[in-house]
């Protein structure tokens, strides 16, 4: 759109003028062709956005611009797996050539099976790569999910997806070599940890955070803790039996005044014995806490 070039319109300094009768300057006239051109251009924006033109609605240009800004880079896809063909959703937004930095969004109809290409608005076939520049692997594009690609001068890079990524398979978790975006479930994380030796196969985690509780680690190590009320001696039963052995029990007096000396002995997989003496070796009854380690 530009100002009319017809000299009979009477532009002043290239713009419409109200004229200056005192100085013999006539007012500019706006020919029908120019008014029609303005209306047609506004209607093109409105209708290409998907709106239905309304003479009573004076906000449609604003609405159309908002729609086109939000969806102008969205394309419909009508190709096949590994060879995606994109057409603009809005005819007025059809690019005339590829340009570095241009982005396209689309929802593929077919999941890719390996290296893939894209052809946007019949401008030519281009390779789709990962952000690292590698060709796509099977499943990087999943049917029904939305994707964002950026043109990098020679190929389109897969930047991301605006839908949940595909779930990782057990094979992918255990291989640890897949670079595509994947959704990891707790089960897949555990499978990967086992595959790389961070979690022994068959190991389990368990815990109880009670006053007398325990933490069982995947390695098999078990840490247990608890407390005893005032007593000079006694037998404590572990909250959880050690499958193999109790290696150590440490006990601490909770008396803040006297220097009590708790002692632990006679460890079994399920119990230990303790006694408490004060500084002169006389038995004393004070509350104590303990922590045990075994496997």
How far is residue 43's CA from residue 57's CA, in Å, rounded to a whole number?
A: 12
Residue 60 — very low, low, confident or very high, per pLDDT cuts 50/70/90? very high
CA-CA-CA-CA torsion for 35, 41, 46, 50, nearest 10 degrees?
Answer: 140
Main-chain phi, psi angles of 266, to 5 degrees: 55, 55
Contact yes or no for 223/292 (Cβ under 8 A): yes
Most confident of 14-23, 86-95, 117-126, 204-213: 117-126
Looking at the domain that runs over 206-294, which CATH code has it been given? 2.60.40.3940
Q: Residue 279: its pLDDT value, please?
A: 62
Distances (CA, A) of 148 to 55, 123, 156, 158, 185: 37, 18, 10, 6, 24
DSSP code of residue 88: E
| Dihedral sign, Cα of residue 111, residue 117, residue 120, residue 121 | negative
Q: Residue 284: its pLDDT value, please?
A: 62
Q: At a CB cut-off of 8 Å and minimum separation 6, what does 202 contact?
A: none
Main-chain phi, psi angles of 276, to 5 degrees: -125, 125
Residue 8 — very low, low, confident or very high, per pLDDT cuts 50/70/90? confident
Q: Residue 59: its pLDDT value, please?
A: 93
208-256, pLDDT tens digit by residue?
999 999 999 888 899 999 998 877 888 999 999 999 999 999 998 887 6
How far is residue 210's CA from residue 50's CA, in Å, rounded to a whole number?
A: 62
DSSP code of residue 122: T
Main-chain phi, psi angles of 138, to 5 degrees: -55, 130
Higher pLDDT, 224 or 25: 224
Higher pLDDT, 176 or 131: 131
CB atoms within 10 A of CB 59: 8
DSSP code of residue 259: -
How far is residue 139's CA from residue 171's CA, in Å, rounded to a whole number?
A: 13
DSSP code of residue 229: E
Least Cα distance to 9 among 23, 19, 24 occurs for 19
Q: Residue 256: its pLDDT value, please?
A: 64
Residue 81 — very low, low, confident or very high, per pLDDT cuts 50/70/90? very high
Q: Residue 89: its pLDDT value, please?
A: 81
141-188, pLDDT tens digit by residue?
999 989 999 999 999 999 988 766 678 888 888 888 777 677 788 888
Q: Report if pTM > 0.85.
A: no
Pairing of strands 147-151, 125-129: unpaired
Has residue 34 got a pLDDT over 90?
no
Q: Within the chain, which residue ranges are assigned CATH 2.60.40.3940?
A: 206-294
Higher pLDDT, 98 or 192: 98
């Amino acid at each position: 759109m530009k100002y009319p070039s017809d000299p009979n319109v009477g532009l002043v300094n290239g713009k419409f003028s109200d004229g200056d009768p005192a100085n013999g300057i006539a007012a500019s006239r706006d020919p029908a062709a120019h008014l029609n051109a303005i209306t047609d251009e506004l209607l093109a924006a409105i209708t290409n956005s998907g709106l239905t033109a309304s003479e009573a609605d004076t906000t449609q240009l604003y609405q159309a611009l908002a729609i086109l800004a939000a969806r102008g880079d969205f394309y419909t896809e009508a190709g096949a797996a590994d060879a995606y063909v994109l057409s603009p959703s809005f005819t007025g937004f059809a690019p005339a050539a590829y340009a570095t930095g241009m982005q396209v969004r689309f929802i593929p109809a077919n999941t890719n099976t390996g290296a893939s290409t894209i052809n946007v608005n019949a401008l030519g076939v281009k390779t789709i790569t990962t952000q690292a520049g590698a060709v796509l692997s099977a499943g990087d594009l999943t049917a029904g999910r939305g994707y964002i690609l950026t043109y990098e001068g020679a190929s389109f890079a897969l930047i991301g997806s605006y839908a949940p990524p595909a779930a990782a398979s057990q094979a992918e978790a255990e291989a640890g070599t897949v670079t595509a975006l994947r959704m990891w479930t707790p089960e897949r994380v555990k499978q990967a940890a086992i595959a790389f030796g961070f979690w022994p196969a068959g190991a389990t985690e368990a815990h109880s955070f009670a006053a007398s509780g325990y933490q069982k680690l995947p390695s098999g190590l078990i840490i247990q803790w608890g407390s005893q009320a005032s007593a000079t001696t006694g037998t404590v039963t572990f909250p959880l039996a050690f499958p193999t052995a109790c290696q150590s029990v440490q006990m601490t007096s909770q008396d803040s005044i006297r220097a009590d000396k708790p002692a632990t002995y006679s460890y079994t997989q399920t119990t230990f014995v303790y006694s408490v003496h004060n500084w002169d070796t006389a038995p004393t009854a004070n509350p104590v806490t303990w922590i045990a380690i075994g496997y």
